[in-house]
């Protein structure tokens, strides 16, 4: 059974808005990302998406409802089909739960679209990357 040290995993992520696959369960992908600034407005037609903040603060902006502001230890679930945009005013570490194969920019194509996500494997003290295109 794999054990993932979140501090080590997040520390190894070098690029903002580059999700990494940390695990999979029951058809769900557990992804980690370090974010800063604004992401793109988008929605996921067939997938709910859970945002969990490990460190920092994340605002999830919505077009049709009040924004959600998440602090460390908090999560929010964005229902399928809901237009949203994650925003972090400072560097923030987030964990995402979404169905495997969910594209990060949903219905929008942009320079931040990632169809294949690298898998992170954390051993005793270091994080190393293993390619995985199930993502």
Percentage of the chain lying above the pLDDT 90 cut: 74
Contacts of 111 (CB under 8 A, 6+ apart): none
The pTM assigned to this predicted structure is: 0.87
Mean pLDDT, rounded, for 60-66: 96
Tens digit of each residue's pLDDT (9 = 90 or more) over 19-59? 999 999 999 999 999 999 999 999 999 999 999 999 999 99
Which of 86, 59, 87 minimizes the C-alpha distance to 71?
A: 59
6-130 is classed CATH 2.60.120.10: yes
Which of 1, 31, 26 minimizes the C-alpha distance to 13?
A: 31
């Amino acid at each position: 059974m794999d054990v993932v040290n979140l501090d080590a995993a997040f520390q190894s992520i070098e690029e903002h808005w580059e999700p990494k696959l940390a695990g999979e369960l029951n058809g769900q992908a557990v992804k980690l990302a370090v974010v800063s600034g604004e992401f793109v407005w988008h929605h996921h037609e067939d997938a709910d998406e859970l945002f969990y903040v490990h460190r920092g603060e994340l605002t999830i902006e919505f077009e049709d409802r009040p924004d959600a502001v998440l602090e460390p230890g908090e999560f929010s679930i964005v229902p399928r089909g809901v237009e949203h945009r994650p925003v972090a005013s400072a560097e923030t570490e987030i964990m995402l739960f979404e169905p495997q194969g969910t594209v990060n920019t949903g219905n929008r194509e942009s320079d931040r679209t990632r169809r294949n996500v690298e898998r992170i494997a954390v051993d005793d003290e270091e994080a190393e990357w293993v390619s995985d295109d199930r993502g």
